Amino acid sequence: MFDALAENLESAWRKLRGQDKISASNIQEALQTVRRALLSADVNLQVVQEFMAAVEAKALGAEVISGVRPDQQFIKIVHDELVAVMGSENTPLLRAEQPPTVILMAGLQGTGKTTATAKLALYLRKLDRTCLLVATDIYRPAAIDQLITLGDQINVPVFSLGTDVDPVEIARQGVARARETGIDTVIIDTAGRLQIDQDMMAELAQIKTTVQPDETLLVVDAMTGQEAANLTRTFQEEIGITGAILTKLDGDSRGGAALSVRQVSGQPIKFVGVGEKVEALQPFYPDRMASRILGMGDVLTLVEKAQEEINLEDAAKMQEKMLKAEFDFTDFLKQMRLLKNLGSLGGLLKMMPGMGKLSNNQLQEGETKLKRAETIINSMTPEERHNPDLLASSPSRRRRIAKGASVSDREVSDLLSQFSQMRSMMKKLGSGQMPAGMGNLFGGMGPAPAKKKPKKKKGFADL
């Protein structure tokens, strides 16, 4: 996400490297590069103009800070302005003083509205809030069935009255049912259209008047870019929204929607969808998103994702095994499966500072090599996984594993060698030493250096 925008912005910083300070003359080329980058990312033109005016004013008015290069200072100014454009801080969902809290979901067909409804319910359920989903989309084939299936998947009840009842009445009865049964939050999935039309807007307005929602959330496809701003403006003017959910932010998104929605509507982005899985919904933090756009990573979100998946007691045991060099292939397999639960390798690495410049080819290569390592380990017997030293002294075992995994004998030998190297490194760390070669543990998957490339060493990603 935002790969093209981040790459284009990187060229803007280069314009100021080597300068003593920011001046009216040397900043113009950098400003033009930022402007082109935002327009290429499909950011709304009005938003771009306001953004650039603010950046230029702050850059020219900035005091020279000792020890800070002009390009670093300019990056900080752009970062702060990105945060301001996207809303400055996270805006949590409103909660009614007297339950149920009513959330109305709005948006066009195809934006992922029904899936976002279920994702939001799961997110709230993890906060120990009971939810009821209400199916009012009586027009799209199988829309009600889809919501019921998703509700079953996340163990959240769905209220529906079929396709022959007026959606306004379904919404009214759904809220009444929640009130009677002591449900904390009602989420109403409404009908969408392929494009905005008056019938849809009139129905939405009537549902809103009837149920008086605490939140009206517009679901926006992040990949629509410039069109997202126009859609947001129309819904805000005709219905009135309290916030937005950006879906498909993990796709080939140019970033325009994230930078346009808040500025155009005046309402905050509250959540972002970052994958197809029903767990793939995150609260939106403007400062974290700005860091991702600028290739600075997003460690806080990475930590939060890990906290959801990792058992602290298991993690402590695993750490102890690693530092004593008792870490085996069974443990390694567990760690790989944990990574899969956290998301794609590419998605995780790009949340780490300094990893934002990894190319898609590099990430794909890393994914492929990790999958190959898993295949090799799966071809081992339980005894061999537990005692990797057995394989070091047995060529016949290595040949059998290679055949079972459909890889070469050399690839199995390389995995054993690199695994042994990793255990040796961990043991040194456990004794307080800093082993050489730590940077090559993942096969040098980080961004390529700007100067002459050093001689390549084999690492874990070279399996």
Which of 8-17, 175-184, 312-321 is predicted with the least confidence, judged by mean pLDDT? 312-321
Peptide bond into 395 cis (omega under 30): no
pLDDT at residue 69, rounded to an integer: 72
The last residue of a domain, from among 57, 85, 113: 85
Torsion sign over Cα 441, 446, 448, 450 = negative
Asked whether residue 48 falls in the same domain as residue 166, the answer is no
* Residue 260 pLDDT > 70: yes
**pLDDT on residue 168:** 95
195 and 79, same structural domain?
no
Domain with 179 in it: what CATH number? 3.40.50.300
| Preceding amide of 100 cis, omega within 30 | yes
Q: Verify that 276 and 358 share a domain, yes or no.
A: no
Task: For residue range 149-184, list pLDDT tens digits in order.
Answer: 999 999 999 999 999 999 999 999 999 999 999 999
Most confident of 176-180, 191-195, 336-340, 421-425: 176-180
Q: Which run of H or of E encompasses 228?
A: helix 226-238
CATH number, domain containing residue 69: 1.20.120.140
Among candidates 397, 120, 394, 91, which has minimal Cα distance to 268? 91
Same domain, 369 and 242: no
Region 268-275: mean pLDDT is: 87
Letter for the amino acid at 80? Answer: D
Assess whether pLDDT exceeds 90 at residue 291.
no
The mean per-residue pLDDT over the stretch 282-304 comes to 68
pLDDT category at 455 given cuts 50, 70, 90 is very low
The verdict on 120 and 269 lying in the same domain is yes
Residue 1: predicted pLDDT: 46
Q: What is the CATH number of the domain that holds 374?
A: 1.10.260.30
pLDDT in tens, 105-128: 998 888 889 999 999 999 999 999
Domain identity same for 130 and 228: yes
**Does residue 252 lie within any of the structural domains?**
yes
| Same domain flag for 361 and 228 | no
> What residue numbers bound the domain in which 166 lies?
101-296
Residue 460 pLDDT > 90, yes or no? no
The reply to whether 240 and 327 lie within a common domain is no
The 10s digit of each residue's pLDDT in 351-409 is: 554 445 555 666 677 777 888 888 999 899 988 888 888 888 888 999 999 999 999 98
Cα separation, 305 vs 318, whole angstroms: 19
| Whether residue 336 is found in the same domain as residue 452 | yes
Q: What is the pLDDT of residues 327-351, one digit of tens each?
A: 788 877 777 776 666 555 555 555 5
Percent of the chain with pLDDT over 70: 71
Domain annotation covers residue 303: no
Looking at the structure of the chain, the number of domains it has is 3
pLDDT of 259: 78
